[in-house]
Structure 1
Amino acid sequence: MKYKVIFALLLAFQLANAQHKKATTGLQDRAFWVKSLYKIAYPVIHNLANETLKKNMPLEHNPDYGLNLKKVTYLEALGRTMAGVAPWLALPDDATDEGELRKTMRVELLKGLANSVNPESPDYISYRSEGQPIVDAAYVAQAFLRAPKALWEPLDEVTKKRFIEEFKSLRTRSGAYNNWLLFAGLTEGFLLSIGEQYDPARVQFAVNKMKEWYVGDSWYSDGEKFSMDYYNSYVIHTMLVDLLKILADKKKLPQADYDLALKRMVRYSEYLERIISPEGTYPAYGRSITYRTAAFQALAQTALMEKLPDYVKPAQVRCALTKVMHNMYDGNQNFDDKGWLVLGFNGHQPMVADTYTSTGSLYMATLGFLTLGLPAGNKFWTDAPAPWTSLKAWTGEAVKKDYKVEY
């Protein structure tokens, strides 16, 4: 037993030394994030700008797929991609290489957005049938909320009107009795935020049910029964916080409701930081693991809002997420030969795809990159590399004990 302990410690210290030798600066990390996000998002945004999304996007799904593929997958690709790139595209123009790349992508996305709601375009994407558009309209709306001056305000009035009409058309359908309530609520919340007529019942129902489904210590049940997966990050915390922010700003509910939801998201972000292993891996459990780095959306958004707890340093989050991204995006295992994401978790693994997952669904991965919305001069990027909780724990460094919260 003594030798096993010694061997384990030696391995841990070797791992720590390897990590320190490979340490990069924050600006190098940022350049890698930009490269990775651009690589993921480019095929969707570039093709939509050129009205070739439907022509060129592959349509992959597993044999048990159960949706009307061509009526849902393109909106999935658009909404999920733009929700992830929005904070980055919201940064002001500058003369850096990154700034030029960002401007190019923003210009193409604006062009693509106009195409997507133009009935005369070959890439027109309808919201008016099927249930799935309830989901992905919400990601489009969330992107507009995350970058109003970059993505919503520059649109011409005809395009804005078309989006509003598409959003309102969703009211003819209802979705699943779970996190889907937030999708309907957030889209209506966006309409409220821009002064349009909205459905207060859909908004209030979503808020009320999420309050009921809170099970404690920052975890929400996804519906009446708890599911152990990443939907608290994919959807629940971030959309609830964004929706409550609109409602609090519009004096539709007490500020305290928003503050409480934000505290819970901050606590949940601690879990996400802790599950990143010393090697930069994380558990592939629950449904929708094909969403890859979207598992860390709540952590990325908490860091973007600069709301991390004092004992979770921005640099340790940066380093942990960078390590995860290197594992997923350094190689080409998650891309086909034309740069589109493939079904899988870390490679082409179609057997792990759910019955509702197709190529367009995969672009949820961009949601892990939200912290690129912090400028390059922010301490998230400029602070020296720092070990994350798991790395510290496995190398014998001091680690703050975990705890249960009562709010």
Structure 2
Amino acid sequence: MIIRFSVIILLFSLCISTTGIAQKQNIKTKPQEKVVVTGAQDREYWSNLLYKIASPVILNLANGTLKKNMPVEKAPGYGLDDTKVTYLEAVGRTMAGIAPWLSLPDDGTKEGKMRKQLREALLKGITHAVDPNHPDYLNFRTEQQPIVDAAYIAQAFLRAPKALWEPLDSVTKKRVAEEFKALRTRTGAYNNWLLFAGINEVFLLSIGEQPDPVRIEFAKRKILEWYQGDGWYSDGPSFSMDYYNSYVIHPMLVDFFKVLSDKKRIKAEDYETAVKRMVRYAEFTERFIAPDGSYPPFGRSITYRTAAFQALAQTALMEKLPEYIAPAQVRSGLTAVMHRIYDGCNNFDSNGWLVLGFCGHQPQIADYYTSTGSLYMATLGFLTLGLPADHKFWTDPASDWTSKKAWSSQPFKKDYHVDY
């Protein structure tokens, strides 16, 4: 009896459900019009988002309140001394990502005013960072980790020398150089860390200081030995399937080789080969972007979020994209990524600082070397803001990226292997 009653109830529910579906199908709805977003709107979104990410670090450093106000969240099992490394991490990584944008000339737009504010604040903050008597003096002198984050400061100076290096006063410049030289008392891991030591030395070379040629040569030789082919380097003797080719290896190697090429320390062809390999890797990362703007959360350090696209962003910034990848295609893909990861996930605390995680607060996925300062690698995905607003990257109509073409039955270019 109970079974029969249950069957009757189930059949009655199905009838109601079917009727409801039929009623819905008889309702005629007006098709929604597709919203067209311009490149100017994309740029406004990018610049506002980068300002949101970078301003807590830069403005607090300028005000002498970085160590006072920056929260320090650490991964489970964190293995470093956070008080000695996390603040330099935040500053160096933010500088490297924001440098191309700050190098643009001033103008009266809202974006221009934000740039000017951050550039002036950062110049002031740099003086604090290397002043031993200042509360926000940053640690270059102990621990291994500062080798890494000094390298991002070096990369920022190399990316925007006229905006971030030349305006500094002579005392600050001397102090910066001395802090970089102090890094030579330590060594790091036998992997991408060699590049950090190398770029620190070529930065010194670029400002007229005597570099350590051994650190430069060792980094150059080992990274080239670790090239695996088809645009991929191993991170040390063993290959790791992760985003470190974008977080570090391709962009830093290209910037490292650019200085060496300009100083006639390597052949121009060596630099061009490094660029071609980065371009090939950028093709892969463009294809990683799914139609909805998501991308695979694999490998180490995925808490660095949009830094996964640094190589693609730098390739576009250098105007080296392959012919079949239109600049607007990259803009549209990266904009989709930013909307997906920053609008769709709550990645900020109540005071605007980044939190540990990939899509929201997920501290369990953070690595043992990750703290709040580490997360500002995310700014590296915004390098293409260094292209002016009237560049075709920003002015061309939106364009579907490769995976969006593939999954909507549009023609798209098949992939291939390269031998360089």
Query: TM above 0.5, one fold?
Result: yes
Find the partner of 2:298 among 285, 295, 306. 285
1:132 matched to 2:127: no
Q: Report what 2:136 is aligned to.
A: 123
DSSP-derived class of the 1:21 partner: coil
Find the partner of 2:316 among 298, 303, 306. 303
- Please say if residues 76 and 366 of structure 2, whose CA atoms lie closer than 8 Å, have aligned partners that are also in contact: no
- Please say if residues 201 and 211 of structure 2, whose CA atoms lie closer than 8 Å, have aligned partners that are also in contact: yes
Whole-angstrom CA distance in 2 between matches of 1:219 and 1:304? 20
1:270 matched to 2:283: yes
> What is the aligned-residue RMSD (CA, Å)?
1.1
> What TM-score do the two structures reach when normalised by structure 1?
0.95
Superposed CA offset, 1:228-251 (max 9, x none): 000000000001000111001100
Whole-angstrom CA distance in 1 between matches of 2:313 and 2:209? 30
Whole-angstrom CA distance in 1 between matches of 2:213 and 2:91? 26
Give, in angstroms, the shift of residue 63 of structure 1.
2.4
Q: Report what 2:28 is aligned to.
A: none
Q: Report what 2:271 is aligned to.
A: 258
Q: Report what 2:105 is aligned to.
A: 92
Give, in angstroms, the shift of residue 194 of structure 1.
1.2
Whole-angstrom CA distance in 2 between matches of 1:250 and 1:212? 22
Superposed, 1:52-201 pairs within 5 Å as 52-201=65-214
Superposed CA offset, 1:317-346 (max 9, x none): 000000010112226600000000000001
1:315 matched to 2:319: no
DSSP-derived class of the 1:381 partner: helix
Q: Report what 1:9 is aligned to.
A: none
Q: Report what 1:378 is aligned to.
A: 391
Find the partner of 2:64 among 51, 55, 60. 51
Whole-angstrom CA distance in 2 between matches of 1:111 and 1:335? 25
Q: 5+ residue gaps in structure 2?
A: 1-30
DSSP-derived class of the 2:411 partner: coil
Q: In the alignment, residue 417 of structure 2 is paired with which amino acid? A: K
Superposed CA offset, 1:74-112 (max 9, x none): 000000001000000000011111111110110001111
Whole-angstrom CA distance in 1 between matches of 2:34 and 2:91? 39
DSSP-derived class of the 2:325 partner: coil
Find the partner of 2:46 among 33, 51, 76. 33
DSSP-derived class of the 2:385 partner: helix
Q: Report what 2:378 is aligned to.
A: 365
Q: 5+ residue gaps in structure 1?
A: 1-16
Give, in angstroms, the shift of residue 22 of structure 1.
4.0
DSSP-derived class of the 1:48 partner: helix
Identity of aligned residues (%): 70
Whole-angstrom CA distance in 2 between matches of 1:249 and 1:173? 28
Whole-angstrom CA distance in 1 between matches of 2:172 and 2:344? 38
Whole-angstrom CA distance in 2 between matches of 1:334 and 1:73? 18
Q: Report what 2:250 is aligned to.
A: 237
Whole-angstrom CA distance in 2 between matches of 1:146 and 1:381? 20
- Alpha-carbon spacing, 1:203–1:22, altered in 2? closer, same or farther (3 Å): farther
Q: Report what 1:10 is aligned to.
A: none
Whole-angstrom CA distance in 2 between matches of 1:73 and 1:101? 25
- Please say if residues 75 and 369 of structure 2, whose CA atoms lie closer than 8 Å, have aligned partners that are also in contact: no
Q: In the alignment, residue 313 of structure 1 is paired with which amino acid? A: A
DSSP-derived class of the 1:99 partner: helix
- Please say if residues 198 and 256 of structure 2, whose CA atoms lie closer than 8 Å, have aligned partners that are also in contact: yes
- Alpha-carbon spacing, 1:233–1:402, altered in 2? closer, same or farther (3 Å): same
Whole-angstrom CA distance in 2 between matches of 1:134 and 1:291? 18
- Please say if residues 294 and 341 of structure 2, whose CA atoms lie closer than 8 Å, have aligned partners that are also in contact: no
Q: Report what 1:393 is aligned to.
A: 406
Superposed CA offset, 1:170-221 (max 9, x none): 0000000000000000010111111111001101100100110000000000
Q: In the alignment, residue 98 of structure 2 is paired with which amino acid? A: V
Whole-angstrom CA distance in 2 between matches of 1:321 and 1:23? 16
- Please say if residues 195 and 249 of structure 2, whose CA atoms lie closer than 8 Å, have aligned partners that are also in contact: yes
